[in-house]
Each structure stands twice: as structure tokens, then as C-alpha cells.
């Protein structure tokens, strides 16, 4: 199966960003992509860099956004993984990934479960943790284990998706560093981000698709200098091997062949699921063990 990864910076307005994203999807489809994955909150700037109640207005277009991306999936005959700001009710919002089938129908959605709250990443102010569990989404190209950004640091989430039959793990992402960080610290952060996800591939015998944005986005309140998103979107195979990796600062459409049958072979030679000692894992449901 051919997968298209869309890595780009945002434009000055939502409308310009949408136009760019659509053109990149069209480019991926023309190159044969059957599955196209977009980055986290791809429609606009990363507004979680600060806490601003006016930003909740960005979710007011939820229904219109669903209709828009449905049309794009259908027009390009691709399974499309999007990442949108969902308004469920007044005061109740989610960071929600929606998957569209090739005919534009909604195949399923996933509400981000793990919500960060760090300088420049104030997502707890905006998003209620997901309440849909970890359930793969069945599509015409396979069963997608869809998770979002901060979820990628949690092996429990990847494992539960694998146990429920996911054929691949997909992580739309928005992660970056601060320019004032030391160069060695930047490298450690980016390396850790990639390593943890490659570990999920190995532990579960599944390919991993991770798509991050690029570019520096300013803090419109002027408190922080801004976030420089580090790109490096990649696909890893079921033994953690890097199949393709984007640059840290270039807009790219990556087209890559993903062999879902290879996961079956890897699981036969590395039968980690067989050897799990599930009767010993009860403490994993505790916050901490004193």
C-alpha cells in the first residue's frame, strides 16, 4: 500500500493553509497514495501555545470542516487522516482525529487521550481527554490504530491498539523545540521522540506512521519567543527500521510503500504477544506504587 505523509508549515490564514494542504493531498494522490496522513491540528496555527478563550471560536467550524475534508477525500479517492478541533458542546472540546474513506464517508474518529500542559503546549486549557477508548478504525486500506501526538509517549496506548487488531499505528503530531534551547538538548528531544515511536513498532510488530509540522510559529501574546516545529516525519517498519524520514525544515510529500503482511512475519519470529505475562500486570492500572 502506498502511504502519503504531508509535512508542511501553516500559512497566515486558515484559508491559505487549507489551500496548501489540499494541493499537497492532490500531489500525493497523483503519485498513487491510497492513504494520506496529515499533521496534528493542520488547519491553522498551533493555538495551544498560550491560553486564550477566543481560540475556542476555532472549533465553531467543526461540522463545516467535516464536510470539507469529506469532499477532499472523495475527490482524490484516498483514505484521509485529519486532525481537527471538535466542539462537542459549550465548554466541552476535543482534539479529534477523523478518518475519511475513499468515498468521503466518515470511517471513524479518535479523541486524543493524553493531554499535555507544558510551557507553549497548554492543551489542557482547550481539550477534554478522549472518552472513546483505543479502538482501531476499519478502512478499505486496513485497520488503523490512530493516536495523536502526546499519546506517542505512552506504550500502553500503542499496545491496546495492537491488542485490538490494529495493522499500523498512526500519529498526527505537532511537536517542536524552543530556539533558545541548547543544541544538544534539541537533539536529545528529537531523538527521544523518534526512539519511543520506533519502540512501539518493535514491541507490537507493526509499522508506525508519524507526521509532524514544520516552521516557527510565534506566540501572539508575546510571552514566548515561539515554537519551531521540528518536522522529521517518518515511517518505521515492524522491527523499528526507518523506511523513510523527512527533513526537519522542508515542506514535503513523502510517498512510501508500507507492507502490512510483513508485520505477520515479524510477529512469527518475535512473538511478544505470546509471551506476555498478563497475570503480572495488574499494577499498571495504578497511578504510582509506593
Q: What is the pLDDT of residues 219-263, one digit of tens each?
A: 999 999 999 999 999 999 999 999 999 999 999 999 999 999 999
Residue 166: inside a domain: yes
The CATH number of whichever domain residue 75 belongs to comes to: 3.60.110.10
Residue 64: inside a domain: yes
Residue 280: inside a domain: no
Strand-pair category, 242-245 with 106-111: unpaired
Q: Give the domain range for residue 155.
A: 2-274
The active-site residue out of 34, 86, 112, 194 is: 112
* Count of residues in the chain: 290
**Domains held by the chain: number:** 1
Q: What is the pLDDT of residue 230?
A: 97
Neighbours of 114 (CB within 10 A): 17
Query: Reading across the β-sheet that carries 242-245, which strands appear in turn?
Result: 137-139, 142-146, 168-172, 208-211, 234-236, 242-245
Residue 165: inside a domain: yes
Q: What is the pLDDT of residue 252?
A: 97
Is the Cβ–Cβ distance between 187 and 249 less than 8 Å? no
Alpha carbon distance 111, 237 (integer Å)? 25
Residue 193: inside a domain: yes
The active-site residue out of 34, 40, 86, 217 is: 40
The pTM assigned to this predicted structure is 0.97
Q: What is the pLDDT of residue 156?
A: 98
Active site residue 180: no
Active site residue 112: yes
Could you say which residues of the chain have pLDDT below 70?
none
Active site residue 40: yes
Residue 89: inside a domain: yes
What's the chain's Rg over C-alpha atoms?
A: 18
Residue 236: inside a domain: yes
Q: What is the enclosing helix (H) or strand (E) of 257? A: strand 252-257
The active-site residue out of 34, 86, 123, 149 is: 149
Q: What is the pLDDT of residue 278?
A: 97
Q: What is the pLDDT of residue 33?
A: 98
Give burial (CB, 10 Å; 0-12/13-18/19+) of 79: buried
Amino acid at each position: 500500500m502506498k502511504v502519503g505523509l504531508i509535512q508542511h508549515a501553516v500559512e497566515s490564514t486558515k484559508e491559505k493553509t487549507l489551500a496548501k494542504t489540499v494541493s499537497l493531498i492532490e500531489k500525493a494522490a497523483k503519485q498513487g497514495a491510497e492513504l494520506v496522513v496529515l499533521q496534528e491540528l493542520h488547519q491553522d496555527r498551533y493555538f495551544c501555545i498560550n491560553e486564550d478563550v477566543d481560540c475556542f471560536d476555532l472549533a465553531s467550524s467543526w461540522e463545516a470542516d467535516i464536510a470539507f475534508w469529506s469532499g477532499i477525500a472523495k475527490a482524490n479517492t484516498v483514505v484521509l487522516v485529519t486532525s481537527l478541533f471538535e466542539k462537542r458542546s459549550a465548554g466541552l472540546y476535543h482534539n479529534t482525529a477523523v478518518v475519511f474513506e475513499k468515498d468521503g464517508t466518515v470511517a471513524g474518529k479518535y479523541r486524543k487521550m493524553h493531554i499535555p500542559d507544558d510551557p507553549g503546549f497548554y492543551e489542557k486549557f482547550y481539550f477534554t481527554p478522549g472518552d472513546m477508548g483505543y479502538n482501531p478504525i476499519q478502512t478499505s486500506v486496513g485497520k488503523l490504530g490512530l493516536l495523536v501526538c502526546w499519546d506517542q509517549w505512552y506504550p500502553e496506548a500503542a499496545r491496546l491498539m495492537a491488542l485490538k487488531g490494529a495493522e499500523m499505528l498512526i500519529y498526527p503530531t505537532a511537536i517542536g523545540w524552543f530556539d533558545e534551547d541548547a543544541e544538544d538538548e534539541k537533539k536529545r528531544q528529537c531523538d527521544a521522540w523518534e526512539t519511543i515511536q520506533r519502540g512501539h513498532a518493535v514491541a507490537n510488530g507493526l509499522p508506525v506512521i508519524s507526521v509532524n509540522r514544520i516552521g516557527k510559529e510565534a506566540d501572539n501574546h508575546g510571552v514566548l519567543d515561539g515554537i519551531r516545529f521540528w518536522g522529521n516525519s517518518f515511517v518505521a517498519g515492524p522491527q523499528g527500521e526507518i523506511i523513510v524520514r523527512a527533513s526537519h525544515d522542508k515542506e514535503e510529500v513523502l510517498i512510501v510503500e508500507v507492507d502490512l503482511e510483513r508485520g505477520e512475519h515479524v510477529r512469527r519470529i518475535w512473538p511478544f504477544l505470546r509471551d506476555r505475562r498478563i497475570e503480572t500486570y495488574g499494577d499498571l492500572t495504578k497511578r504510582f506504587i509506593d
